Amino acid sequence: MRFNPNIHHRHSIRLKGYDYSQEGLYFITICVQDREFIFGDIKNGILELNPFGKIASQEWENSEKIRDNIKIHEYIIMPNHIHGIIEILFKKDESKEEKDRENKKGGEDKGKGEDKGESKGESKDESKGELRFAPTVPTAPTAPTAPTNFKSPSQTIGSIIRGFKIATIKKIKDYIQEIEKKEEIKGKGEKGNKEIKRISWGELQFAPTIAPTEESEFAPTPIALTAPIIEKIKSLNFKIWQRNYYEIIIRDEKAYQRISEYIINNPQKWEEDKFHKKIKK
């Protein structure tokens, strides 16, 4: 049965009629399923990421590396969610060469008075490190639009987030399988060393050259350090992320600065954070 929001009682929290592939800055929040703490811990306002948090951080940064039309600004991986600012530099169906030509043309037209009011403070040359804010008025839902060709699925904010979620789940799953495999091999090896092997007449059996030390015997292994988190992830059936995400369209410099400071200071205000509490099942 095809999904029907009227039947399934789900509604989109996206702004209806807004083009999420257009140039601009977007403040994104993605929560872990049931807001479980799986990415690390915060102690005295200092964030300590575990291996899963580091994977999420790496994949968030990879979003920029695999796409030439976005830029990652401030972001933070919290124990059970991520805050970040994504900038779309240009539409994916518009090539970088075309964008450069348009910027060059715009420079040549300087002083002619064309689009003077529209471009001010909204669409600036990215090479100068300046910001590109979203339009203050979204596209009207009822406004007629010309038919367009099929576009790459990676050009919208929604598909960028979807790609990030898929990548983190895969990497975390691979990581867990890898350390469990190592532990299994290690366990078999230790068991084999403890077994008394039969030797034929004339063969000699020597004691180990290095006796196990207290440090090596009790040193925590990766599986021991992350076992509780792994159990949480498995209890979620590796569905780490909530189905949707939160987003705010950043309209101006003031909003950008306020949101950037909020992201940077998030660990210090963790106890007050509305995402701090887990969702009761």
User: Is residue 278 in a domain?
Assistant: no
Query: Percent of the chain, pLDDT > 90?
Result: 39
Which CATH number does the domain housing residue 48 bear? Answer: 3.30.70.1290
Distances (CA, A) of 104 to 112, 113, 143, 183, 227: 14, 16, 31, 58, 55
Model confidence band, residue 280 (pLDDT cutoffs 50, 70, 90): low
- Tell me phi and psi for residue 248, to 5 degrees: -130, 130
pTM summary value: 0.63
In the structure encoding, which two tokens stand for residue 62, read together?
């990879």
Q: Examine the pLDDT at 141 and tell me if it is beyond 60.
A: no
Q: Examine the pLDDT at 164 and tell me if it is beyond 80.
A: yes
User: Is residue 71 in a domain?
Assistant: yes
User: Is residue 85 in a domain?
Assistant: yes
What pLDDT, in 10s, does the model give residues 106-123? Answer: 444 344 433 333 333 333
Model confidence band, residue 91 (pLDDT cutoffs 50, 70, 90): confident
Of residues 199 and 83, more confidently modeled: 83
Query: Percent of the chain, pLDDT > 70?
Result: 54
In this predicted structure, what is the pLDDT of residue 104? 53
Residue range(s) defining the domain that contains residue 51: 12-95+119-139+154-192+220-273
118, containing H or E segment: helix 116-119
User: Is residue 206 in a domain?
Assistant: no
Residue with token string 């705010």: 248
In this predicted structure, what is the pLDDT of residue 256? 94
Model confidence band, residue 68 (pLDDT cutoffs 50, 70, 90): confident
Distances (CA, A) of 172 to 215, 221, 231: 29, 17, 13
Distances (CA, A) of 21 to 93, 134, 159, 208: 10, 11, 10, 64
Residue with token string 């994949």: 59
Q: Is 150 left (phi over 0), alpha (psi -120 to 50) or beta?
A: beta
In the structure encoding, which two tokens stand for residue 57, read together?
């951080």
Of residues 216 and 281, more confidently modeled: 281
What is the count of structural domains for the chain?
Answer: 1
Q: Examine the pLDDT at 199 and tell me if it is beyond 70.
A: no
User: Is residue 212 in a domain?
Assistant: no
Q: If you average pLDDT over residues 262-266, what whole number do you get?
A: 95
Q: If you average pLDDT over residues 170-177, what whole number do you get?
A: 93
Mean pLDDT value across the chain: 71
